[in-house]
Structure 1
Amino acid sequence: MNLSLDKTTPASNLLSEQVQLGGTYVDTVVEISEELFHMKELLPLVKLLTLVYKMRSPNADEEHHMNTLLRTLSGDNLNKITTDRHPEGFTRDEIIKSFSRFLSPVLNGLTGLGDFEQAVGAGEDPDSFRQFWALDDRNLLSDAASGRGPLAASTEPIIPFLETFIKDRSRRIALTQDHGALVLVPNQTRPGDEIWMMSRASSLVVVRRLDQPEDSTTDLSVLGDAYSHGFVKGKPPRGCKRQAYDDLEFLTSSVAVGLAGGVPR
C-alpha cells in the first residue's frame, strides 16, 4: 500500500526525500457531524449530541459523556487556552458555564430538547437520558430546568465557547464503528474513512483508501491529524480482523515532502 499526503497535511517532520512511516489501523468512521462552526444552529447541534449519545468508549461509568465531548471538541487543550482578557487561562467553572451556554439551544429550548429526546428515544430509558447530561458534580439539564443554567441572569461576561475553546471550527466530530468513540477530525472526513495511529508518536491521523482498479493496489491518503481519548489501548475492537492491526510501513515520496506542513511520525 502507498500512503500519500493531502495538501492540507503538514510535512514538517519529513526530513528526507523518502521516509517510511509506520502506522496501525485503529477504527473506521461510521457517522460524522456538521462542521463545528454550524453548531450555533439547532439541527447541527442536535445531530452532534445524537452522536455523543451513541458513544460507547469511554463508557458513562468511566467518564461522563459531557466531559468526553468537552475534551474532544477542544482537543483536550482547555487548560492551555488563554486570551487577552484571560491571560492566565480559565477556571473550570468558567469553562462549564461557557459550554452550557453553547448547548443552550437544546437545554433551554422546548423544540431543541424535544427533537433530541425523539432522536435518541429518551423515553425508553429516562435515567440514562438524565445521566447523559452529568458533568463533574452537576447536571446540565437539571440546572437548565431549575433556572441555574446558562441563560440565568448574571453580571459575568459571556465567554463564547466556539470562538474561545475551539481552535479550528471547520473540523467535525466523528463516531467510530467498533469502539464507538468520538474523534475530532478534519473537515473533509466522511463515513468510511479510517483512523490510524502513527507508530513513532502515537498520534492519530485520518486515512482514506484510494483503490486503483487498474493495477489492483490501494493508496492510503492522509487527510490530517485527529484527536480522541476514547480508544481502549491494547484491545482491538471486537469483530475486527486481527491482521488489520498489524503495523504497515507507508512509503512517502519526495512529492509529499514538498507539501506544506507535516505528518506525525
Structure 2
Amino acid sequence: MNLKLDQSMRVDDLQSEHVQLGGTYVDTIVAVSDELVHMKELLPLVKLLSLVYKMRSPSPDEEHHMNTLMRTLSGDGLSRTTTDRHPQGFTRHETIQSFSRFLSPVLNGLSGLVDFEQAVGAGEDPESFRQFWALDDRNLLTDAISGSGPLAATAETDIPFLETFVEDKSRRLALTQDHGALVLVPNRARVGDEVWKMSRGSSLIVIRRDGRPESPSMDMSVLGEAYSHGFAQGKPPRGCKQTYNDTEFLTSSVAVGLAGGVPR
C-alpha cells in the first residue's frame, strides 16, 4: 500500500500490510533508561542522570543539560501544561522548583549524590560536574547544599514533575551514538534501535531493523514516536549518514501511540 505525497493515515487505520514511508536516518540508540514511572526511586534516577551526563548535543555552551532534560522529559510541553488547579499554566520558577524536587533523591540525599558522583567520575572533572547542575541563572546542586532548594520551600512542592509535566510515564530516555543526543522514546525501545526523521513534517520515530543489514528486503518495524530537543527542530542534524526515500517499513508492529498522521 502506497500513500500519496499529500496523504496521511492514522496509525489506527494501518493493517498488517506494508506501507511505504520516506525518512532520514538520524542516529542509533546506545543507552536506554528505565521507564520514567520509576524515577521516584534512587537507582533508576541515578542511571537516568548518568545517561544525561554523557549527552553531547546540545553542548553545555549551547544549552544547560538540566534545561535539555526538562524539555525532553516533557516533550517540550512545559509552557503548554495546565491543570485544574493551575488553569493558566506554570511560571518558570514553579517549573524549576518542581523539577528540583524531582531530582531531590540525588540532590538532597547523601547516598544518592555519592552514587551519582561515582557513576560519572565527578572527581576527575569537578568543574564539569558543578556545571552539569546549572539551570538558568542558578545551580541546583548549589541550591541543595545551601538549603535554598525545593525542600526548603514546602509551599512550592505540591507540583509533582512527573505527574504534571510528563504525559506518558511508560516511556524511556535514550542516548544516541553519533550525536550524543537525548531522546524520549517508546517503552519498547532498546539499544540498537534507530531514530529517524520522517521526510514530510518534523516527526521523529524509532524503528527496529529485522533481518540482516545487507539484505535489501530487510523489514523495518516502527516502534512509535520519539522526541528530541534539537532533532525535532528544522532539518535533521549534520552528520546523518543515510537518506532513504520510499523506504518500506513493516506496519504490522506500528505502536498505537504514534500520534496523528503518518506522512510519507
Question: What TM bracket, shorter-length normalisation?
Answer: 0.7 to 0.9
Stretches of structure 1 that go unaligned for 5 or more consecutive residues are 1-8
Question: Letter of the aligned partner of 1:31 in structure 2?
Answer: A
Question: Letter of the aligned partner of 1:62 in structure 2?
Answer: E
Tell me the equivalent position of 1:44: 44
Q: Call closer, same or farther: CA 1:235–1:185 in 2, change over 3 Å.
A: closer
Tell me the equivalent position of 1:195: 195
Question: Letter of the aligned partner of 2:206 in structure 1?
Answer: V
Give how far 1:255 is off.
6.5
Give how far 1:157 is off.
5.3
Tell me the equivalent position of 1:4: none
2:250 pairs with 1:248: no
Q: Call closer, same or farther: CA 1:176–1:255 in 2, change over 3 Å.
A: closer
2:209 pairs with 1:209: yes
| Aligned pairs (5 A) from 1:171-190 | 171-190=171-190
Stretches of structure 2 that go unaligned for 5 or more consecutive residues are 1-8
Give how far 1:254 is off.
8.7
Tell me the equivalent position of 2:159: 159
User: Contact conserved, 2:197 with 2:236, CA < 8 A, in 1?
Assistant: no
Q: Call closer, same or farther: CA 1:212–1:27 in 2, change over 3 Å.
A: closer
Aligned residues: 249
| Aligned pairs (5 A) from 1:54-203 | 54-156=54-156, 158-203=158-203
Q: How far, CA to CA, are the matches of 1:196 and 1:128 in structure 2?
A: 31
Q: How far, CA to CA, are the matches of 1:165 and 1:45 in structure 2?
A: 17
Q: How far, CA to CA, are the matches of 1:173 and 1:60 in structure 2?
A: 19
Tell me the equivalent position of 1:264: 262
Q: How far, CA to CA, are the matches of 1:54 and 1:252 in structure 2?
A: 31
Give how far 1:109 is off.
0.4
Higher relative contact order (CA 8 A, sep 6+): 1
User: Contact conserved, 1:36 with 1:169, CA < 8 A, in 2?
Assistant: yes
Give how far 1:229 is off.
1.8
| Aligned pairs (5 A) from 1:226-245 | 226-231=226-231, 233=235, 235-237=237-239, 242=241, 245=242
Q: Deviations over 1:95-154 (max 9, x none)?
A: 000000000000000000000000000001000000000000100000000000111143
Give how far 1:226 is off.
0.2
Q: Deviations over 1:68-112 (max 9, x none)?
A: 000000000011111000001000000000000000000000000
Q: Call closer, same or farther: CA 1:79–1:262 in 2, change over 3 Å.
A: closer
Give how far 1:21 is off.
1.6
- Secondary structure of the structure 2 residue equivalent to 1:169: coil
Question: Letter of the aligned partner of 2:262 in structure 1?
Answer: P
